[in-house]
Amino acid sequence: MTVRDRVDAAFAAQPRTRFLPEGARYAADVDAPLQIGYGQTNSQPRTVHDMLMLLDVRRGMRVLDVGAGSGWTTALLAELTGPEGSVLGTEIVPELVEFGAGNVAGAGVPWARLVSAVPRALGAPDEAPFDRILVSAMAHGLPRELVEQLSPGGVMVVPVDGTMLRVVRGVPPVDAVAEAEVTEHGEYRFVPLLGG
Ligand SMILES: C[S@@+](CC[C@H](N)C(=O)[O-])C[C@H]1O[C@@H](n2cnc3c(N)ncnc32)[C@H](O)[C@@H]1O
């Protein structure tokens, strides 16, 4: 199965509708970000698809989903890891933690959970390292704190100052965060990563 096949299968298994507030469900098939309240959005499907292709999640991986919002990306990632892996979603808006966690709990993927972001920290430093990190909010500058939470050879996909970046942490002896390999993958718009 190619990466595209696996991502397509995840989309088919976790329809976006289930992760939208009732009032937004009529627009689930529209390829645009949709409001989920509190000034935040459920991301545009084409953008999520692009990011998951870049992230290349394999079965059994440990994945961190920063900016989990509605929980949709957390559930999609869980389809990609399968039950041999795990997904931790973090969200900073308390009302969305409740909304997103409820959606993930009903998604049939008990190896995924959505929790409140750790105050004054990015990601989940206490639960690192992760094989993959997805960031669904725009950072200003590469968040080194998150690169440090990658395992050696781990991959992060993150929008930074308008550009989608794919970051690969080096493997020893080239494991310094400063020497992570960073490639650029087009221009995107996102809500801001708070504290990032
Ligand atoms: C584009 S939205 C939601 C994307 C989500 N993956 C979805 O499809 O519903 C990005 C989310 O990131 C959250 N966010 C912003 N900064 C954050 C941070 N430092 N830690 C965790 N979540 C954050 C926002 O509150 C928002 O819900």
Task: Map out the domains of the chain with their CATH numbers.
Answer: 3-10+46-187 (3.40.50.150)
39 alpha carbon – ligand 1 mean position (Å): 10
Residue closest via CA to ligand 1's atom 12 equals 67
- Cα separation, 70 vs 85, in Å, equals 21
Position 195 scores a pLDDT of: 80
How sure is the predictor about 196, in pLDDT bands with cuts at 50, 70 and 90?
low
pLDDT at 175 over 80: no
- Cα separation, 9 vs 58, in Å, equals 13
73 alpha carbon – ligand 1 mean position (Å): 10
Which residue(s) pair with 165 in the sheet?
158, 184
Over residues 10-27, mean pLDDT: 97
Number of H helices, E strands in the chain: 5, 9
- Cα separation, 47 vs 84, in Å, equals 26
Position 171 scores a pLDDT of: 86
| Token digits of residue 70 | 């509605």
Residue closest via CA to ligand 1's atom 14 equals 67
Residue closest via CA to ligand 1's atom 15 equals 193
pLDDT at 177 over 90: no
68 alpha carbon – ligand 1 mean position (Å): 5
In 73-102, which positions are buried (b, 16+ CB within 10 angstroms) versus exposed (e)?
A: bbbbbbbbbeeebbbbbbbbbeebbebbbe
Q: What mean pLDDT, rounded, does the chain reach?
A: 95
- Cα separation, 194 vs 69, in Å, equals 13
- Note the pLDDT tens digit of each residue in 30-48: 999 999 999 999 999 999 9
Give the predicted TM-score (pTM) of the model.
0.97
